[in-house]
Structure 1
Amino acid sequence: MIKNFEYFLMIVEEGSLSKAAEKLYVSQPALSKYLKRLEDETGIELFNHSRSPLSLTYAGEQYLKYISEVDRLDKQMIKELSELKTNKRGRLKIGLALWRSSCILPEILPIFNTRYPDIELTLMEGNSEYLVSNLLKNRMDVCIMNPIATLDYSNLDYEIIMEEKIYLAANRNHHLVSRYSHDTVSNPPYFDVRLIENERLFLTKPGQNLTRILSSMFSKNRMSPAKVLETANLTTAINLVSAGLGFTFIPEAGTKSDLLPPNIMLFTIDQPALTWPLAVFFKKGAYITPTCQNFINTLKEVYAIPSSR
C-alpha cells in the first residue's frame, strides 16, 4: 500500500491539489497521479472530486483517522528509538535474593530512577539457584548475589561490587553483649562467635549463599550450633533478634539501610573478619546494554567504597 501519508494529509489540509503540490514542492500532475494510485489501491474514492475545495468522503474520513494514528505511532517510534540510543529509555530485569531486595533497592533505586526515570524495571527474587537458572535462560539481564566457590559459574561472568563483611547481629540487651558500647553499628568490634554456640541462632535455609559461608565458618571454629531456627528471609531473622530471641548474621550491605532496628548491635566475627564479595552476574558472552551498564555503575558508586568499619 502507498504509505506517503504526508501527501494525503497535505491535500486534506489545503483542499486543493495545486496548493498541496506547491507546499510539498512536487508537480501537480505527480500529486494527482499519487492520489489516483491511492484510490485505485484502496478501491474507493477518498475525496469528493466534484467539489472545490476538495472534501473527504466518508471513506476518506476513516482513512484519515487511520493514517493520523499511524503517523502518530511512527513519530512515537522514532522518538523512542532515539531515546533508547541515548539511554533515556529501556527495560531492565534484575534478579536478587529476597533479603537483598529489601536492603539494596532502597539504596540504589532513588539514585537510578532520578537519573533514568523512563527505564522500566522488573524484579525477580529467589535463592541463588533460582537466580542462576533464570539468568542462563535469558529471563533476566543481571542478578546481584555473592559468588560462592561451591557453585558452578562457568557459564556466567560477574563484576565485583564490594568486599562485604558479614556481621553478627545481637539485641543490645542480651547479657553476652550488654557490656559493649551502643555504637557498634557504626564501628562493630570483634566478638568471639564461639560464645554463642549454645544460643538460639536464626539462620538462612540450606541452599542460600549465606548458609554456605556460615556453615564453613562454623566448621572452621569447630562449632555445632545447638539451637537453630531456619528462615528463607533474613528480614525475619533480624526482627526476631530485635525481639530479643537470639542472634543472626547480616551482610554489610544490609547495615547501610534504615531497615535495621535501632536495638540491634553488630560485631565482626572470625579472624580475619569474615567477608565475601558482592557481585553483579550476567550470562557469559551476553551483550551488556547501556541501560544495564548504567545500573551496574550506580551499584558501584553506592557500594564500591572501602569500608570504614
Structure 2
Amino acid sequence: MLDDKSLKILKTINIYKNISKAADKLYTAQPNLSRLLKKIEKNFGYDIFNRSTSPMTLTKEGEILFEYINKFEKLENDMYEKINNLSNYNKIRIGALTFMTQYIIPDIIPEFIRKFPSLDLTLKKYSSISFENALLNNEIDLFITNREIKNKNLKSKYILDDPIYLMYPKSENVKNKTNLSDFKDETFYLLKPWKNLRKSVEEIFKDNDLKPKNTEIVSSIMNGVSLTKAKKGVTFIYGTSKSMIGSTDVCDFIEIKENYARITIVYKNPDLENLINELGDILKTYIISILK
C-alpha cells in the first residue's frame, strides 16, 4: 500500500522521467531520491521504472501500477464529489402520487431521515400527468411513481415491479371464474384514463384481448375497492395496496402475471444520485415486506 509520500515520489518521477529533475521538484538530493525509490520498489517486489532509458520509462509492472493509481484517484475524487454535492442539499422536495403519499411514503420517511438527519424533507402530491413539469421546473427534486417514463430530459431509477391484481367479490356466480376473460360480463370499476393504474389496465385488456361489456369510472382505487366489496362489480389494485384495503374475507384476487407497473424514482439533477440510491434501497426493502 502506498502512503502519500511514496505516491508523490512516484508521480513526480513519472512526470519528469528523470531522477535529478524530480529531486529538484521535491526539494531533495538526487542520491536520497534514488534511495527512496529503491525502497519503494523493494516493498513492491519489482522495478517500477526503467533506469536504462533516457528519459526514464515505466516497466510493464510500473504501467499496471500507475493504471490502478489513476483508477483509485478517480474513485476517490468521485466519492468526495458525491459527498460534497450531497452536502449542498439540505432540503429535499419529494413528489409522489396520492396513493403513495397516503400509504407508502409515510412508512419509509423515518428510515430515510435516520440516514440523512440533516435533510429538511417536503412531501407533495402530484398527478401522473403533472409531475414531469414539476421536476423540469424545479418545483420538486424527485418523484416516486409506478410507471416508466420516456422523457429524455429526466433520469430514473427502477426499484422493482408492483404486481397488479383483479379484485372480485366472493359469490356463487364467480366462484368458478379463474381467468380475466371469465369476467367480461362483470362491471369493471376503473380509474380515469390518465391515471397510472388505468393506463396499465388498458395494456392488460389489450394483451388479453378483453373488452368488458360495462365499465364505470371511480375517482380512487379505494372507491373501486369499496364497490367491489359491496358486490357491485370488479376492480384492479396494485400489490402494494392489497395489504392496506382491510378485510378480504368477501373478496378474492387474480394476479396478473406480466409486469405492468414498475416503481421508479424520477429526477433531473444527477448530483442526487447517491441520495436516490439510498432512498431506493429503503423503498425496495419496504415494498418487498408488504408484498409478502
Map of 1:222 onto structure 2 = 209
Could you say what secondary structure the match of 2:130 adopts?
A: helix
Aligned to 1:143: 143
Q: TM-score if structure 2 supplies the norm length?
A: 0.61
Residue pair 1:174, 1:244 contacting (<8 A) in 2 also: no
Q: Which residue does 2:194 correspond to in 1?
A: 207
Question: CA offsets, 1:31-50, max 9 Å, x none?
Answer: xxxxxxxxxxxxxxxxxxxx
The correspondence for 1:172, drawn from 170, 174, 183, is: 170
CA-CA distance at 1:268 after TM superposition? 1.2
> Any residues of structure 2 matched to 1:98-109 within 5 Å, and which?
98-109=98-109
Q: What residue number does 2:121 align with?
A: 121
Match of 2:17 in 1: none
Taking the aligned partners of 1:199 and 1:259, their CA distance within structure 2 comes to 21
Task: Determine which of 288, 291, 297 is the counterpart of 2:281.
Answer: 297
Give a deviation string over 1:250-307, Cα, whole Å, max 9, x none: 111222x4344433422113xx444432111111x43207655433331122235796
Alignment partners' CA distance in 1, 2:102 and 2:247? 14
Tell me how far 1:97 sits from its aligned partner.
1.4
Corresponding letter in the other structure for 1:252? G
Q: Secondary structure of the residue that 2:150 maps to in structure 1?
A: coil
Identical pairs, percent: 21
The answer for unaligned runs of 5 or more in structure 1 is 1-83, 181-190
1:260–1:112 CA distance, 2 compared to 1 (3 A): farther
Counterpart of 2:287, as a letter, is Y
1: CA distance, partners of 2:85 / 2:252: 47
Encode CA deviations 1:56-100: one digit per residue, 9 max, x unaligned. Answer: xxxxxxxxxxxxxxxxxxxxxxxxxxxx9997x932211111122
Matched, 1:282 2:272: no
What TM-score do the two structures reach when normalised by structure 1?
A: 0.58
1:163 to 1:291, Cα distance in 2 relative to 1, 3 A? closer
CA distance in 2, matches of 1:85, 1:237: 44
Describe the shift of the 1:261–1:114 C-alpha distance in structure 2 as closer, same or farther (beyond 3 A): farther
| Equivalent residue, structure 2, for 1:245 | 232
The structure with more radius of gyration: 1
Q: Matched residues in 1 for 2:234 and 2:290: separation?
A: 27
1:115, distance to aligned residue in structure 2 (A): 5.1
Look up the equivalent residue of 1:258 and give its one-letter code.
Answer: M
Task: Give the number of aligned pairs.
Answer: 207
Q: Is the 8 A contact 1:167 1:267 kept in 2?
A: yes
Contact kept? 1:163, 1:276, Cα under 8 Å:
yes
SS state of the match for residue 128, structure 1?
Answer: coil
Matches within 5 A, 1:80-99: 90-99=90-99
- 1:142–1:203 distance in 2 versus 1, CA, 3 Å: same
| CA separation of 1:92 and 1:266: change in aligned 2, threshold 3 A | farther
Unaligned runs of 5+ in 2: 1-83
Structure ranking higher in helix proportion: 2
In the TM superposition, residue 126 of structure 1 has moved relative to its aligned partner by: 2.8
CA distance in 2, matches of 1:302, 1:145: 15
Aligned pair in 2 of structure 1 residues 306, 235: CA closer, same or farther (>3 Å)?
Answer: closer
1:306, 1:102 → 2: CA distance? 15
Determine helix, strand or coil for the equivalent of 1:206. coil
Q: Aligned-pair distance for 1:167?
A: 0.7
Deviation at 1:122, TM superposition (A): 2.0
Conservation of the 8 A alpha-carbon contact between 1:167 and 1:252: yes
- Kept in 2: contact 1:97–1:128 (CA 8 A): yes
Question: Structure 2 matches for 1:18-33, cutoff 5 A?
Answer: none
